[in-house]
Amino acid sequence: MDAAIGFVVAHGDTVDRARLSWLRTGAAPQPDVLTSAEIGQTPDGGWPAFWAGDVASVDATCFRLAELDDLGALHRPPARKALDWLVSRQRGDGSWEEDESLAAEAPEWARPGDPEATYYLTANAGYWLSVAAGASGPGTPGGPDGAGDPAHRDAAQRAAGYLAAQMRPDGTWPSYLLAGWLAAATLYRQTMFYESARMQVVLNDRLATMTPGDVAQLAAALRRAGLADDDWLLVNARRRLAVTQRSDGGWDSDSGDAFEVHAALAAIRACR
């Protein structure tokens, strides 16, 4: 962990280092750091992706919520507004798709009308609504007991129902690898433990072939969802992180060098 911390300090930006401080000690970020992390939010509450122009994206909004979570900022108005926006974008069957106007620009994992993309976006949005349903802080709907906003909780439950209904008999899912751990975490958070466990078995079988960045994200998501520190899947994930860490303290990311700091932060989140 010391080497991973050093990697983030050496290669991260101001927001990344503030995320590190929050993860390590719970130190509150400076106001200008929060402003930087929250910048670019559209009036309706979402954030656009780099490929989406000015149209808010489900995928990009979930990515921004992940950064804000690492800053202890899910209770702040921008994050709550983003969560409200996710609720407003949920479809009748409990799923999410990107806006149809983005069909020509959206990458494969976010393409409207693509079943794999729909499952992934539903797992992603459902995960953050599940996490936020237990978040508390000044001004958080639901009060300090961590109950969260009932609308967010209900949307997360509907998302979990959709994810469970799409699962195959062998515990696999009809989408990308990362959709699996987001779905498993969402199901676990929504107390659908049997369905989550079936997916966790599949994820464990795939650990050996996952990139280190994926292993870090998997472990971080499941820890954040409440999986016990000594759970067998998390123990195996940490072992793989230990043997794949580079000498500079970082891990390879299949998303490219620019995301290696995010992978290191995810590993710290998973192992702290």
| pLDDT tens track, the chain, 272 positions | 999 999 999 999 999 999 999 999 999 999 999 999 999 999 999 999 988 889 999 999 999 999 999 999 999 999 999 999 999 999 999 999 999 999 888 899 899 999 999 999 999 999 999 999 865 443 333 333 345 689 999 999 999 999 999 999 999 999 999 999 999 999 999 999 999 999 999 999 999 999 999 999 999 999 999 999 999 999 999 999 999 999 999 998 877 777 899 999 999 999 88
State the Cα–Cα distance between residues 135 and 42, nearest whole angstrom: 23
**How far apart, in whole angstroms, are the C-alpha atoms of residue 90 and residue 73?**
23
CA–CA gap between residue 166 and residue 55 (Å, rounded)? 28
State pTM to two decimals: 0.92
* Cα–Cα distance for residue pair 67/74, rounded to 1 Å: 9
d(CA 266, CA 70): 9
Asked if 67 contacts 15 with a C-beta cutoff of 8 angstroms, the reply is yes
Domain residue spans in the chain?
A: 1-39+210-272, 42-168
Burial of 51 (0-12, 13-18, 19+ CB in 10 A): middle
Would you state the pLDDT for residue 134? 60
* Residue 56 confidence (pLDDT): 94
Evaluate whether 159 touches 147 at the Cβ level (below 8 Å).
no
Separation between Cα atoms, residue 147 and residue 134, nearest integer Å: 6
User: pLDDT at position 143, please?
Assistant: 35
Query: Kind and range of the H or E element at 48?
Result: strand 47-48
How high is the pLDDT of residue 146? Answer: 43
